[in-house]
Chains A and B, each alone.
Chain A
Amino acid sequence: MKRVITNIIQVIIFILIFMIIFIKINDILRVKVHTNDTIGSFYKERSDSIDVIFVGSSHAFSSFSPMELWDDYGITSYNLSTGCQSLPCSYYLMKEAIRTQHPKVVVLETYASYYMTDYISTARVHQAIDCIPLNQTKFEILTDYLSDTMSVHERLEYVFPIALYHSRWKELKKNDIRPKKTYLRGYYTQLHINEQQEIDLSDEVVEVYEKNISYIEKMIHLCEKNDVELIMCQTPIAKNKDYKNICGRMKTIENYAVEQGISYINYDKLRDILKLDYKVDFADSKHLNIIGASKTTSYMGDYLKTHYELADHRNETDYDNWVKDCEFYKKYIHQKKEEMLSQRNQ
């Protein structure tokens, strides 16, 4: 009997050691470039320290800078957007954000309503959800969201990302082993100026993918249940090949949001108020650069301050790291803006 018990204890200890190493190795091997590590860094934020969350695709991470919201309004926010983030992924990230941070406001950028599939590519799904720990949310992702399009085998890659990333061992860098926390808090600095043309505004609607509506519905329920305010918005875009479809699908979502009594900010219609300069503010036809992002962020800050009771944390001692990060950020952005403008003038 004694031997059986020692054997069982030995096996349990082995499994525990194995698990600890397994989690660490998975974390080391996963890709850590901007959009991949946004979510990883998010989990390192002090819990309940963030009041506003942004979710959405690359449009959102190019348009809302948490550091500027902090500097101008003292609002703590985090941008959980990832490249080509599908609406289902936004929903699950929103869920994780509410679980860990209990934010007061969640902002959903609706460009993803343009997508007509469950996801753009499996790599995009990995970028969005790899860092979600093995919890109920992850389980739901695998059983509700991915079960329609992926085999059990493919879904297991999301449980054990090592299956996908293990061959990365040969390209590991220092940042993989001890990843730096991103002080940008999910914002991505677009550093190019690319002259663009204004789009023609229209109220035409284009049909959207059914699943997208159902996940927006889920987001509304989720926020209601947790007493979180939901804002939906569409960030400015410039003329491109398919802009009519993009705007048409987002219009469908806008109409739906208004029907449901959800605040909707259509930045395309606000271009005069924002004084958006299509010659300067864009990095490409779909993404704002840091100059444009300052305008959208600033409008968002005003909107949040007037419509919601959000505390100004700037003088609280718990937020010293925000002050430090912001100083660094301001210097960096200022320098980059000058560089960009002087390059353009040349």
Chain B
Amino acid sequence: MLLNSFVFLIFFPIVCILYYIIPYRFRHIFLLIASYYFYMCWNAKYALLMLTSTVITYLSGLLIHRANQIPHESKREKYRKLCVLVSFSLNLAILVFFKYFNFLIETINHILAHMHISLLNVDFDVVLPVGISFYTFQALSYTVDVYRGDIYREKNFLKYALFVSFFPQLVAGPIERSKNLLKQINGKHDFDIHKVHTGLSRMLFGLFQKMVLSDNISVIVTEVYDNHSSYGSLELIFATILFAFQIYCDFGGYSNIAIGAARVMGFELMENFNTPYMADTVADFWRRWHISLTTWFRDYLYIPLGGNRKGRLRKYINIMIVFLTSGLWHGASWHFVAWGGINGIYQIIGDVLRPIRDKMAVWFEVDRKLFSHRIIKVVVTFVLVDISWIFFRADTIGQALAIIKGMCTRIHLGVLLDGSLFRMGIDIKQCMIVLAALVLLILTDICKYIKLDLIEGLCRQGVWLQYMVYLFLIYSVLIFGSYGPAYDASQFIYFQF
């Protein structure tokens, strides 16, 4: 089940109503059943996989707790580390098998082919379990948090299982921390009309992002990227800029629906996107983009690797490890790794050049706080990030390079005059709606950037204004959203008989 599907539109209100009717002590059981049902709507068998991860990390928590009682210090540490190691190995083994098996085989075959050795032949196809990257990371964070003593181990298995499978954020994040979500599962949530109101508003805005923006933009981007050799530089640049917003609205929209849905039930999930394209450096972008994943990598990979405490070189190596892993986390393909690598390199270059930039700013007497200076930084950051998105979106590294080459070489300005720029894969009217929605999105992001909470603000406004905004968003989704069967006019208009 997807959060933007019709089934969810029925599922969610029923779950919410029952949730508030059921006595407190049974609520976590009910939510657990609902969450597993939610997951099993996609594939019942794969729920067992999630259960396995849950059991492993749950036991790791219990065992680490027991190990903490061992009086002998070195033995205690050894035992505790073993628990973490086993939990990580098993969970990552599952993840690697289900997500990276085909990728590994392909890569090995590729290498073997170069060495003229016969290829490995594997006869089964592994289906990628939905959300496996998300819940595995969430479950692993629990093991480390208990190990570090940041959180007490959870004795109640059902509550812990709910923490791993909590349906709003199960398939696409935010990747929650036990410190936040597990505590809330243990708490009581009374029906709070304000939370329901703001939660629903947030869900609605998320749907708008996902269905009006992301899904419509994806048509343009797919058209241009699939036929990139027949498009000129302007079209490629236009599609690439749009892709930056497609992925933001897709991921960010989904996160908004998840955060909103959780809030309706009284849960506060962590923020996942904070106006990412307002960032003025690439490092800043990563503090604003997919925050739950970035902080996960910071807390559970970058810091254990030594972070920035072991000298400059080690710091850069650590950054590269984190970003290459992050690339791989996004998908089992080399172009994702390249995307991660580029972002890592950006940060290292940024760090290396910092003293020079500082000196230049002093030399030219630039006031870095000025709007005129900041806007340039924001634009440059966007351009850098957007170049990396080419590698994310393209199907292969080769295709990404071909697209970049096309951007630099096939310059035809004619497309600006005949309007064909706005007719790539979609109607010009549709394209105008997308651009108008994009302006709206940018405006809401600017508001967020200057710390203006639009949803809170709206909920305090008069009812008529709230109605207008909600109706506008709902009908935008219903009319301009991409859903339902493809309407084929010829079936309805041209057959009269």
Contact = CB atoms under 8 A, between A and B. Distances in A.
A169 B480 contact: yes
Interface string A161-183: 01111111111000000000000
B469 to A, nearest CB: 11
Contacts of B480: 166, 169
A13 B487 CA distance: 32
Contacts of B97: none
Given A121-B491, A123-B491, A163-B485, A35 B496 contact: yes
A25 B475 contact: yes
B127 interface: no
Contacts of A169: 479-480
Nearest to B427: A170
A83 interface: yes
B484 interface: yes
A33 B493 contact: yes
Interface in A103-130: 121, 123, 126-127
Interface in B401-443: 427, 429-430
Contacts of A17: 467, 471
A171 B496 contact: no
B471 A167 contact: no
Q: Interface SS of chain B: helix, strand, loop or mixed? A: helix
Nearest to B5: A153
Interface in A124-165: 126-127, 153-154, 156-157, 162-165
A170 B478 contact: no
Interface string A17-51: 11001000100010101111000000000000000
A227 to B, nearest CB: 34
B483 interface: yes
A84 interface: yes
Contacts of B481: 166
B56 interface: no
B471 A123 contact: no
B193 A164 contact: no
B471 A21 contact: yes
B485 A157 contact: yes
B94 interface: no
Interface string B350-381: 00000000000000000000000000000000
B6 A156 contact: yes
B479 A126 contact: no
A334 B487 CA distance: 38
B17 interface: no
Contacts of A83: 495-497
A84 B491 CA distance: 12
A126 B470 CA distance: 30
A308 interface: no
Contact of B484 (A14, A157, A170, A287): A157
Contacts of A153: 6
A21 B475 contact: yes
Contact of A31 (B193, B429, B492, B497): B492
A153 B1 CA distance: 13
A163 to B, nearest CB: 4
Given A14-B470, A162-B478, A163-B483, A33 B492 contact: yes
A321 to B, nearest CB: 26
A17 B193 CA distance: 21
A335 to B, nearest CB: 21
Contacts of B463: 10
Given A14-B470, A31-B492, A123-B492, A287 B497 contact: yes
Contacts of B474: 18
6 contacts: A3-B193, A10-B463, A153-B6, A162-B478, A166-B478, A166-B481
A188 interface: yes
B306 to A, nearest CB: 52
A31 B484 CA distance: 16
B489 interface: yes
A58 interface: yes
A33 B474 CA distance: 28
Contacts of B497: 58, 83-84, 286-287
Nearest to B487: A167
Nearest to B480: A169
Nearest to A123: B491
B485 A188 contact: no
A31 to B, nearest CB: 4
Given A18-B471, A25-B478, A58-B497, 15 more contacts: A10-B463, A13-B467, A14-B467, A17-B467, A17-B471, A18-B474, A34-B496, A58-B496, A84-B495, A123-B492, A123-B495, A156-B6, A166-B480, A166-B484, A188-B496
